Chains A and B, each alone.
Chain A
Amino acid sequence: MSSYMENPSDVPPDAAGPLPDQTRGLSQGRLVLKRFFGHTAAIVSLVVLVLIVLLAISSIGLGPIPGWWKFGYTDIPPITNGGHPTLQLFPFSLGDHPFGQDRVGRDSFAMTMRGTQISLIITVLVGSTAALIGILVGALSGYFRGVVETILMRFTDMIIIIPILISASVIAYKAGNIGGFWLLGLFLGLVSWTGMARLVRGDFLTLREREFVDAARLAGASDRRIIFKHILPNAIGVITVNTTLLMSTAILLETALSYLGLGVQPPDTSLGRLISDNQAAFTTRPWLFWWPGVFIVAICLCINFVGDGLRDAFDPRQKKFSVRQMRRASRSEQRAALKVQAPSAGPTGTVGGGS
C-alpha cells in the first residue's frame, strides 16, 4: 500500500483528509501547498501581510527603491489642521497626512511606514539567524548524539535559563547603539534559537533511526549528506512552522526593546519606539499612538495565522474538520454509487480514523 510513497509514515494513507482520491499521486510539497491554500484564515493573513510589506516599502521607498509618498520620515512639513489625521474612508482619500502629524509636524504615516520597514527587517533577520543556528545545533546534537549532544544541549539549557528579554536587552542596547538595526536583528537572532534547536533535535532523534537513513548510510553517504539531503528535508515541517512563530515573537521582542529604549536608537525609528515616543501625548494626539500599535498587531496576527496554516498543512493529524466538506464528500461518493462509508463522527474527522 505504501510502496508508491517514498516515506510511508510521513503521510499516512488516510491523512489527506476526506477526499483521498483527489490527492493520490501528489508529491509531499504539493500536498502541503494544497492544504495550506485550503486554510482560509492563513491565506487572508498572507495576503494582508504581503500588502503591508508592499505598502511599507513602496510608500516611502527603501534604499534604491523610490517611494510614492510625498514626505520622508525625517521631513518636517508645516503643521496643517492641528496635526489631525486626514485619512477618509468614505469616499476614500489619504489627504496630506493620513495618520496625522506629531508635535513638530513630522508626517506620522511616513514615520509609521519607516517603523514598519525596520521592524520587518529586524523580524526577518532574527527569524533567519535564529533558524539557522537552531537548525545547526539541533541537527548536530540529534544526529551525532553522545558527547556532541551533551555539550550542545547543556549550552542550550544555559541560554534557555536566561529569560529572552534579559539577554536580548543586554545585547540589544549595545548593538542598537553601535551598529544600527542590522546588527540588532542579527544579535537578537543569537539569543532566540533555543526553542528551534530543541525541536529540530527531537525530530532528528526519531528520524535518524529510520530505514531510509540506514539505506543512505549503506549506500555510502557521508554524515553531511545524510544530515542535509536525507534527514533535513523530512524535518522541514517543524522548521517552517517554528520559524514563523519565531518571527512573530521576534517582532514583539524588538518592539518591546525599542519601547524600553534599548532597541533601535534615534534618529532611526521602529514601531515600538514610535509608541514609546508618543504615549505621553495620548490625550492630545491619540492617533500617533494608535497606528504603530495597529501595525504591530496586524503584522504579528498575520504571521501567527500563517504559522497556524502551515502547521495544519504539514501536520495532517491536526487537520481541520469541516462538516460541510465531509457532507459534500459523502454525498459525491453516494452519487458515484461507490461503496459508501459514513463519515466517522470522531473528533479527527478523518476517514477511517479507527482502522
Chain B
Amino acid sequence: MTSYLLRRLLASVLILLGASFIVYILIAYSGDPLQEYRASNLPNRAQLMEARSNLLNLDVPPVLRYFLWLGGAVKCVVPFAQCDLGSSIQGQPVTAALSSAIPSTLQLVTGAALLAITIGIAVGIVTALRQYSALDYSVTFIAFLFFSLPVFWVAVLLKEFGAIGFNDFLADPRFTTRTIVLVSLISGVVWTVILSGSWARRAITFAAAAVVTGGIMYYLSASDWFAYPGIGPEVLVVLGAGVAVAVTAIIAGLQNRRALYASLSMVVVGVVMMTVAAPLLNSVSLGLLLLLGVLAVGVGYLTGHLFGGYDPAQSRKAAGLTSFIVAVLVALDRVMQAWPTYYNNGRVHGRPIATIGSATPNLSGDFWVHAADKYGHLVLPTFALLLISLASYTRYSRSSMLEVMEQDYVRTARAKGLSERVVVVRHAFRNALIPLATVVAFDIGQLIGGAVITENVFSFKGMGTLFITGIKNVDPNPVMGVFVIVGITAVTFNLLADLAYSALDPRVRVRA
C-alpha cells in the first residue's frame, strides 16, 4: 500500500511538472509581453522595456525561464523557504495576488460543488428508481438542456432577472393574484409529474399541491415575508417534524419507532435552543458557529444512542442528521432576521442581490449582516455554476444506479424479503456511489476552470480574473500560479478518488 501510494505520488508530481512545463511554454510563445511598449511612443520607452525585461527575465529563453520559475515555485513546498511564484507584469508578487484570489474562488466553487453533488445524486437516484416515467423523461430533457446552456449566457440572464428583477420586486414584495394562480398551477403540474400514479391520485396531488402552493404564496405576500423574512419557532416545528420523518423514513424506516422518536426529540431541542440560546448567536464568529454545528451533530448522535432500539446505529444516524439539518435551519433563521438590517444598510441601497463583486465594500454590521451580504453576492454565481455541473451528476448517478439495480445482489436482497427501502438505501445506493467518486474528482478540476467564466461575468476578483488578465497580457506568472493551484487540486482529488475507490470497493485492489 505504502509503495503504491509513493509511486502514485511520484507519478503525480511528474505529471504536474510536465503539465506546468507545457502551460509555461504555451503562454511564453503566445505573444509578446513588450507589445504595448513597442507600439507606444513614450520618451522612456527603452527604460520601460528594459525594466519589464528584467522583471520577467525576458532575455532568458522560455525553456530556461521555466526552470527559473520552477526554482522559485519549489521553495513553496520546502519548509522555511520564501515562496516565490514570480511577479506579474505590473510587478505585483503572484503569491500575494493568489492569496487574495483563492478564498474568493473557493467560496464560489465549494458551495456550487456541494449543492450540485447533493441535488444531482438525489435527482439521479430518484429518476433511476422511476425509470421511463414522466418524471424521468422530464429530468432527462432538463439535464440535456442544462448540458447545452452556455454558462455566460445563463449568467447574464441571471443577472438580469435574478438580481435586477428580484431587487425591483423587493421594493414592493407582493405577488399579484395572477402570479399566485399561475405558480400554483405550475406547482400542481410539477408535483403531479413527480408523484404520478393513477388518475384519481394525480388529480388529488394536483389539487393539493396547487392549493398548498397558493396558500403559502398568499401568506408570504400578505405577511410581507420578503421584507421581514424568518422561520420562527412555529414553522420550525412543522419543518423540523417533516425533516425528522423524512430522514427517519430513509435511514431507519418509519417502523423503527425509537429512531423516529430520537429524531423528533432533536426537533424539540432545536426549537428550545432557538428561543433560549438566541443571545448566544448574536455575537458569534464563524469558528464558534462551526463548533455549534458539530455540537449539534454530537448531541443528535448521543440522543440516538440513548434511545437505542434494536439498531442503535440507525437511531444515531437519523438523530444526528436531523439535528444537523435543524441546526442549519436555526442558523438560516438568524440570517433571515438580519436581512432587514442588511436591506436598509446605506451601502446596500435596497439592492441586496448584487450583480458584481464578492462582498459589499465597507459594509458595517455584525456577523449575520455579513452573512446576508455573502448570500446576496454568492447566490447567483453559485446558481450559474450549479446549473452546469448539476446535469452531469444527475446523468451519472442515474446510470450508475440503474446498473446497480440490475445486479444479482439486489435480486438476492429482494428475494430474501428485505423491504424496498433497505434494498435501495443499503444495497443499491451505496454501491451506486462508488463510480461517482471518480466523476466528482474529475469534475472538481473542471469546476474551477468553469468558475473562470462565471467570475468574469460577475466581476469576481478571483483566480479566473487573475488568469484571464494574465493571458491577455502574455503574463506567464499569474497564469502559472492559477494553474499550479488548479493542477494540484485536480491531481490530489484524482489520487483521493483512486484510494477511495479501492477502499469502497474491495474488488478493486491497488497494485501494491
The residues of A with any CB-CB pair to B shorter than 8 Å are 154-155, 157-159, 161-167, 169-171, 173-174, 177, 248, 252, 255-256, 259-262, 272, 275-276, 279, 282-283, 289, 293, 296-297, 300-301, 304-305, 308, 318, 320-323, 346-348
Nearest 6 A-B pairs (CB), nearest first? A163-B449, A300-B148, A165-B449, A293-B153, A301-B148, A174-B30
Please tell me which stretch of B13-21, B206-214, B419-427 contacts chain A, meaning at least 4 of its Cβ atoms lie within 8 angstroms of it: B13-21
**A272 surroundings in chain B (CB, below 8 A):** 150, 152
User: A304–B471 contact, CB under 8 A?
Assistant: no
Any chain A CB within 8 A of the CB of B337? no
Any chain A CB within 8 A of the CB of B245? no
A311 to B56, CA, bound (A): 50
**A289 surroundings in chain B (CB, below 8 A):** 156
**Nearest-neighbor residue (CB-CB) of A154 within chain B:** B15
B177 smallest CB distance to A (angstroms): 27
Please tell me which stretch of B234-242, B339-347, B482-490 contacts chain A, meaning at least 4 of its Cβ atoms lie within 8 angstroms of it: B482-490
A259 to B147, CA, bound (A): 18
List 13 other contacts, CB 8 Å, given A170-B30, A259-B152, A261-B472. Answer: A158-B15, A159-B19, A159-B22, A161-B487, A163-B448, A164-B449, A166-B23, A255-B152, A276-B152, A297-B149, A301-B147, A304-B144, A304-B148
Which of the residues A173, A256, A297, A322 comes within 8 Å of B30, measured between beta carbons? Answer: A173
B interface, size bucket: 35 or more
**B399 surroundings in chain A (CB, below 8 A):** 318
Any chain A CB within 8 A of the CB of B479? yes
User: A248–B148 contact, CB under 8 A?
Assistant: yes
**B490 surroundings in chain A (CB, below 8 A):** 161, 163
Any chain A CB within 8 A of the CB of B243? no
A350 smallest CB distance to B (angstroms): 11
User: A301–B145 contact, CB under 8 A?
Assistant: yes
**Nearest-neighbor residue (CB-CB) of B468 within chain A:** A260
**Nearest-neighbor residue (CB-CB) of A353 within chain B:** B406
The 6 sampled A-B contact pairs (Cβ below 8 Å) are A162-B19, A169-B467, A260-B456, A272-B150, A300-B150, A304-B148
A221 to B149, CA, bound (A): 47
**A297 surroundings in chain B (CB, below 8 A):** 145, 148-150, 153
Any chain A CB within 8 A of the CB of B93? no
State which residues 1-51 of B face A: CB under 8 Å.
Answer: 11, 14-16, 18-19, 22-23, 26-27, 29-31
A163 to B482, CA, bound (A): 11
User: A161–B16 contact, CB under 8 A?
Assistant: yes
User: B147–A248 contact, CB under 8 A?
Assistant: yes
Any chain A CB within 8 A of the CB of B452? yes
User: B491–A161 contact, CB under 8 A?
Assistant: yes
**Nearest-neighbor residue (CB-CB) of B474 within chain A:** A173
A123 smallest CB distance to B (angstroms): 13
A265 smallest CB distance to B (angstroms): 12
User: A275–B22 contact, CB under 8 A?
Assistant: no
**Nearest-neighbor residue (CB-CB) of B25 within chain A:** A170
Which of the residues B132, B150, B156 comes within 8 Å of A282, measured between beta carbons? Answer: B156
State which residues 442-487 of B face A: CB under 8 Å.
Answer: 445-446, 448-450, 452-453, 456, 467-468, 471-472, 479, 482-483, 486-487
User: B483–A166 contact, CB under 8 A?
Assistant: yes
User: A158–B18 contact, CB under 8 A?
Assistant: yes
Any chain A CB within 8 A of the CB of B151? yes
User: A256–B23 contact, CB under 8 A?
Assistant: no
**A282 surroundings in chain B (CB, below 8 A):** 156, 160
A261 to B479, CA, bound (A): 16
A164 to B452, CA, bound (A): 12
User: B446–A161 contact, CB under 8 A?
Assistant: no
**B472 surroundings in chain A (CB, below 8 A):** 173, 261-262
Any chain A CB within 8 A of the CB of B244? no
A352 to B218, CA, bound (A): 54
User: B468–A165 contact, CB under 8 A?
Assistant: no
**B30 surroundings in chain A (CB, below 8 A):** 170-171, 173-174
**B156 surroundings in chain A (CB, below 8 A):** 275, 279, 282, 289
User: B132–A173 contact, CB under 8 A?
Assistant: no
Tally of contacts, chain A with chain B, CB under 8 A: 136
Any chain A CB within 8 A of the CB of B330? no
Which of the residues B15, B16, B131 comes within 8 Å of A347, measured between beta carbons? Answer: B131
**Nearest-neighbor residue (CB-CB) of B129 within chain A:** A347
Q: Which of A166, A174, A248 has the most CB of B within 10 A?
A: A166
Which of the residues A163, A170, A256, A305 comes within 8 Å of B151, measured between beta carbons? Answer: A256
B9 smallest CB distance to A (angstroms): 14
**B487 surroundings in chain A (CB, below 8 A):** 161-162
B57 smallest CB distance to A (angstroms): 19
With contact pairs A256-B150, A304-B144 given, residues A170 and B27 touching in the complex (Cβ less than 8 Å) = yes
Any chain A CB within 8 A of the CB of B264? no
B49 smallest CB distance to A (angstroms): 21
Any chain A CB within 8 A of the CB of B402? yes
**A283 surroundings in chain B (CB, below 8 A):** 160
User: A275–B144 contact, CB under 8 A?
Assistant: no
**Nearest-neighbor residue (CB-CB) of A286 within chain B:** B160
User: A162–B22 contact, CB under 8 A?
Assistant: yes
Which of the residues B152, B450, B452 comes within 8 Å of A275, measured between beta carbons? Answer: B152
With contact pairs A300-B148, A320-B132 given, residues A260 and B153 touching in the complex (Cβ less than 8 Å) = no
Any chain A CB within 8 A of the CB of B259? no
With contact pairs A162-B23, A174-B30, A348-B406 given, residues A259 and B15 touching in the complex (Cβ less than 8 Å) = no
Which of the residues A158, A305, A320 comes within 8 Å of B144, measured between beta carbons? Answer: A305
**A305 surroundings in chain B (CB, below 8 A):** 144
User: B153–A275 contact, CB under 8 A?
Assistant: yes
**B446 surroundings in chain A (CB, below 8 A):** 163-164
A300 to B150, CA, bound (A): 9
**B497 surroundings in chain A (CB, below 8 A):** none
User: B453–A260 contact, CB under 8 A?
Assistant: yes
Any chain A CB within 8 A of the CB of B335? no
User: B150–A163 contact, CB under 8 A?
Assistant: no
**B148 surroundings in chain A (CB, below 8 A):** 248, 252, 296-297, 300-301, 304
A164 to B446, CA, bound (A): 8
A323 to B134, CA, bound (A): 13
Any chain A CB within 8 A of the CB of B405? yes
Which of the residues A256, A262, A347 comes within 8 Å of B471, measured between beta carbons? Answer: A262
**B27 surroundings in chain A (CB, below 8 A):** 170
**A348 surroundings in chain B (CB, below 8 A):** 406
With contact pairs A170-B30, A173-B471, A174-B30 given, residues A321 and B147 touching in the complex (Cβ less than 8 Å) = no
**A161 surroundings in chain B (CB, below 8 A):** 15-16, 19, 445, 487, 490-491
A308 to B395, CA, bound (A): 12
User: A296–B486 contact, CB under 8 A?
Assistant: no
